[in-house]
């Protein structure tokens, strides 16, 4: 049996696991990320938590084939430098040089959103599919693409930024500095923004936020929809139409076998998937003639990032410093 270490580095936690060749996570370990500390300290903990996972599996480093790491950043495939990890304030860090002395295994590093879609493809909602688009509808919109069974991230590793493709010409200002990005409409933050624009007093949604628009949260919209609030129904319908337009673009470009949806907004699964399928069917190129791909919710949860990191050697892109 082959085993690999997968490490998911987030702004809050370092989550590691040992993954077997079937894509199962057989052990877990976690440490606080401790953002704000030096690169030496954080990379030391990345190694420590990975070794803890190996120990928790009752195995040794000799049983491991590779060390795969999902980072909230990109590694430039030409230079091997970690481009920028906002949560740690790192810019152009020679990350392999820090990690190689710590664990004597082949190291593979990839963006965390790409690891998540890979994890879903290996052991989650897109299992056995070769062409997959995943959107994570969280605070922002994350995205990942699997093409012909491998991660696709463009010539310089910065591709597949699906959240920062445009839904509107001169639309809302986005966190990336551009205007009209999908991120500004289809994320939880975007949904909240739409709700603020459409909210009127005397509605159930207005009661849910205690008559204070600053207290409005994205999940209150779906709560109010479930309670039958007409304004919330209209807000949610607009959100789904915008998300369907975005998904229709990705289907027209990639024609994947499956579109996978994850993140906080996707937790409203009963309200999301069926109406969204109908809208995607209506707003996608050639859908009347050839239909639309499978649309599914992400299944692997927090393990997706660990599994995706662990299988990078097999499915990823080698970004080692040249
Ligand atoms: Zn943007």
What's the gap in Å between 164 CA and the centre of ligand 1?
Answer: 4
What's the gap in Å between 230 CA and the centre of ligand 1?
Answer: 30
Cα 11 from Cα 34, distance rounded (Å): 8
Q: What is the residue whose two structure tokens read 């289809």? A: 186
What per-residue confidence (pLDDT) applies to 320?
A: 65
Question: Is the pLDDT score of 107 beyond 80?
Answer: yes
What's the gap in Å between 277 CA and the centre of ligand 1?
Answer: 25
What's the gap in Å between 171 CA and the centre of ligand 1?
Answer: 11
What's the gap in Å between 173 CA and the centre of ligand 1?
Answer: 8
What's the gap in Å between 53 CA and the centre of ligand 1?
Answer: 36
What's the gap in Å between 143 CA and the centre of ligand 1?
Answer: 12
What's the gap in Å between 111 CA and the centre of ligand 1?
Answer: 17
Q: What is the token pair recorded at 6?
A: 């997968």
Nearest to 82 by CA among 321, 322, 298: 321
Segment 8-13 long-range contacts (CB within 8 Å, at least 24 positions apart): 8/70, 8/112, 8/115, 8/302, 8/305, 8/306, 8/309, 9/33, 9/46, 9/69, 9/70, 9/71, 9/72, 9/85, 9/112, 10/72, 10/87, 10/112, 11/35, 11/72, 11/87, 11/88
Question: Is the pLDDT score of 78 beyond 90?
Answer: no
What's the gap in Å between 160 CA and the centre of ligand 1?
Answer: 13
What's the gap in Å between 27 CA and the centre of ligand 1?
Answer: 37
Q: Of 163-167, 174-178, 219-223, 304-308, give the lowest mean pLDDT range.
A: 174-178
Q: What percent of the chain has pLDDT over 70?
A: 98
The answer to whether the beta carbons of residues 132 and 294 sit under 8 Å apart is: no
What's the gap in Å between 179 CA and the centre of ligand 1?
Answer: 7
Q: What is the dihedral of CA 217, 219, 223, 228, to 10 degrees?
A: 80
pLDDT in tens, 236-262: 999 999 999 999 999 999 999 999 999
Nearest to 126 by CA among 315, 312, 299: 299
Mean pLDDT of 75-93: 84
What's the gap in Å between 247 CA and the centre of ligand 1?
Answer: 16
CB atoms near residue 278 (< 10 Å): 13
What's the gap in Å between 216 CA and the centre of ligand 1?
Answer: 23
Mean pLDDT of 299-318: 90
Nearest to 33 by CA among 69, 66, 64: 69
Question: Is the pLDDT score of 302 beyond 80?
Answer: yes
- The CATH architecture assigned to 130-297 reads 2-Layer Sandwich (3.30)
Question: Is the pLDDT score of 322 beyond 60?
Answer: no
- Give the end-to-end CA distance of the chain in Å, rounded to a whole number: 31
Nearest to 9 by CA among 94, 87, 89: 87
Cα 317 from Cα 108, distance rounded (Å): 8
Question: Is the pLDDT score of 182 beyond 90?
Answer: yes
CA 265, 271, 273, 279 torsion-angle sign: negative
Q: What's the pTM value of the predicted model, to 2 decimals?
A: 0.90
CA 182, 186, 191, 195 torsion-angle sign: positive
- Angle subtended by helix axes 230-254 and 188-198, to nearest 10: 140
What's the gap in Å between 140 CA and the centre of ligand 1?
Answer: 9
What's the gap in Å between 241 CA and the centre of ligand 1?
Answer: 19
The CATH superfamily of 3-121+303-315 is ATPase, nucleotide binding domain (3.30.420.40)
Residues of the chain with CATH 3.30.420.40: 3-121+303-315, 130-297
């Amino acid at each position: 049996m082959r085993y690999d270490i997968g490490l998911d580095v987030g702004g809050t936690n370092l989550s590691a696991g040992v993954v077997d060749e079937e894509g199962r996570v057989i052990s877990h370990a976690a440490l606080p990320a401790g953002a704000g500390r030096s690169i030496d300290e954080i990379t030391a903990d990345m190694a420590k938590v990975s070794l803890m996972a190996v120990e928790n599996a009752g195995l040794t480093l000799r049983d491991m084939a590779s060390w795969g790491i999902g980072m909230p950043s990109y590694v430039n495939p030409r230079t091997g430098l970690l481009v920028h990890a906002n949560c740690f304030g790192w810019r152009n860090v020679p990350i392999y040089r820090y990690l190689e002395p710590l664990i004597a295994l082949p190291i593979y590093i990839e963006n965390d959103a790409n690891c998540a879609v890979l994890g879903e493809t290996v052991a989650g909602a897109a299992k056995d599919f070769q062409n997959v688009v995943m959107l994570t509808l969280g605070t922002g919109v994350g995205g990942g693409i699997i093409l012909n069974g491998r991660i696709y991230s463009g010539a310089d590793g910065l591709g597949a930024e699906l959240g920062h493709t445009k839904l509107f010409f001169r639309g809302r200002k986005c966190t990336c500095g551009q205007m009209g990005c999908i991120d500004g409409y289809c994320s939880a933050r975007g949904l909240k923004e739409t709700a603020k624009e459409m909210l009127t007093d005397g509605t159930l949604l207005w009661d849910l936020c205690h008559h204070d628009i600053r207290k409005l949260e994205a999940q209150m919209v779906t709560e109010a929809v479930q309670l039958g609030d007409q304004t919330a129904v209209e807000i949610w319908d607009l959100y789904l139409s915008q998300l369907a337009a975005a998904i229709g673009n990705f289907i027209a470009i990639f024609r994947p076998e499956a579109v996978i949806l994850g993140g906080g907004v996707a937790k409203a699964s009963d309200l999301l998937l069926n109406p969204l399928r109908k809208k995607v069917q209506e707003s996608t190129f050639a859908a009347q003639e050839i239909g639309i791909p499978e649309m599914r919710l992400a299944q692997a949860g927090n393990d997706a990032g660990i599994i995706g990191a662990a299988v990078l050697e097999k499915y990823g892109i080698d970004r080692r410093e040249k």
